[in-house]
Structure 1
């Protein structure tokens, strides 16, 4: 962070200023000069990362500012924890930018963006899990798992991303008003192209699970606010995720599900664990009432309100 603020990290513009014979344009977008602020904040190739953070709208207003000015603005406007997140994200973006430029494997920048997005997701989850475990008695009830109303079922879904193996997965669990598991799965899915698409697919696979175990009157919950927004309003996105969101929206309406809602990340520990369980299995996993395993009982019981 100190080097970035002093504008001495080895961006192409800085290397060019030291008479190293390179073009100086960004190797990701091939359009703008690769300054520090461009590489870490404003390049179109990393736009999707910042869009899913609280910093996006602030950064948009300071496109012509230096990285130092942007960092000082973020430090002034946000609290210490949020500023630390900003710093970590800058590091992760710079790491993946350098790997993209120099690594022999030549992985796509979309893969790099997904890695940073998943890295951000894991930071949020780890931080929230720690806060909830240490301060459970002081935590708002909005950050605790709540059973559905009687005669309704609750479906929690989540997507996972293994950065080392470039694999995506989804996890889902259906529970009733007593917290009893009615069905669950952990699936490896084909690379959908982005973490957001994986979160939308997690909702779709969750609906498939409900149909498979033959349950209705289900309330669906996802911790991806953007995935929920697109599924409820698929016309908002005319890109590739819009078509996927429209398909999931049609499934939701045709099967008369009750609702799709966003939930706090800390509430979704069971679906999160299921999604990551898929990475360690040689095949997709499905549990129904008659074959719930002890380890699944264990994490479900930890999730229940006291």
Structure 2
């Protein structure tokens, strides 16, 4: 069922505390979720960035159903991969601050838990990709994706932005990440 993983380079790196640029000619997808208890709603946000740390695409989507954090994180990875692919970006690195979600996607055994079907869907998407590295990062290394998810919750709007349409606050967060990573 997930035998295609045997031939792929899947790795879970140590959990960095600050954002770092991907290798030259690689794209990195950072995803995260936010939750609003009052609305009982989750949202996910993500950003595709190049080897200079520059964002190429930013997005956010609302997940209205009450679900678990791990399920929301898996839906963020799934949604992020789909949005990146729809916009013709093939990412080589995916980062999330949910260790459980990263482990669910990279697990070689069949997952019969409540999140197993979503993890299987993500693995199906990966079947069409080249080598992918999954990285568990600390929240401090995922601030841009988290801010995008929080923006969806508080604005009640969904979006996909390209570099010409990024709001000022997003550019400022990206620049802070880049300066800290140097």
Q: Settle same-fold status: TM greater than 0.5.
A: yes
CA distance in 2, matches of 1:232, 1:253: 12
CA distance in 2, matches of 1:273, 1:194: 19
The structural deviation recorded for 1:237 is 2.7
Q: Which residue in the other structure is 1:242 paired with?
A: 116
Alignment of 1:123-162 (within 5 A): 142-162=16-36
| Cα distance change of structure 1 residues 234 and 199 upon mapping to structure 2, 3 Å threshold | farther
Is 1:207 aligned to 2:109, yes or no? no
CA contact (8 A) 1:168 1:198 kept: yes
The structure with the greater share of residues assigned to strand is 2
The structural deviation recorded for 1:223 is 0.7
Q: Which structure: larger Rg?
A: 1
The structure with the greater share of residues assigned to helix is 1
CA contact (8 A) 1:169 1:275 kept: yes
CA distance in 2, matches of 1:254, 1:248: 11
CA root-mean-square deviation? 1.7
TM-score normalized by structure 2?
0.84
Count residues with an aligned counterpart. 166
| More displaced stretch, 173-182 vs 285-294 | 285-294
Is 1:168 aligned to 2:42, yes or no? yes
Deviations 1:27-50 (A, max 9, x none): xxxxxxxxxxxxxxxxxxxxxxxx
TM-score normalized by structure 1?
0.51
What SS class does the counterpart of residue 235 from structure 1 fall into?
coil
The structural deviation recorded for 1:209 is 2.0
Q: Which residue in the other structure is 1:279 paired with?
A: 153
Q: Which residue in the other structure is 1:301 paired with?
A: 175
Q: Which residue in the other structure is 2:125 paired with?
A: 251
CA distance in 2, matches of 1:212, 1:257: 19
The structural deviation recorded for 1:291 is 1.4
Specify every segment of 5 or more residues in structure 2 that has no aligned partner in the other structure, as ranges.
1-14
CA distance in 2, matches of 1:257, 1:202: 20
CA distance in 2, matches of 1:163, 1:271: 19
CA distance in 1, matches of 2:147, 2:94: 17
Is 1:184 aligned to 2:50, yes or no? no
| Cα distance change of structure 1 residues 190 and 256 upon mapping to structure 2, 3 Å threshold | farther
Specify every segment of 5 or more residues in structure 1 that has no aligned partner in the other structure, as ranges.
1-140
What SS class does the counterpart of residue 109 from structure 2 fall into?
helix
CA distance in 1, matches of 2:100, 2:52: 29
CA contact (8 A) 1:151 1:217 kept: no
Deviations 1:234-269 (A, max 9, x none): 635302211111111111222335222211221011
The structural deviation recorded for 1:198 is 0.2
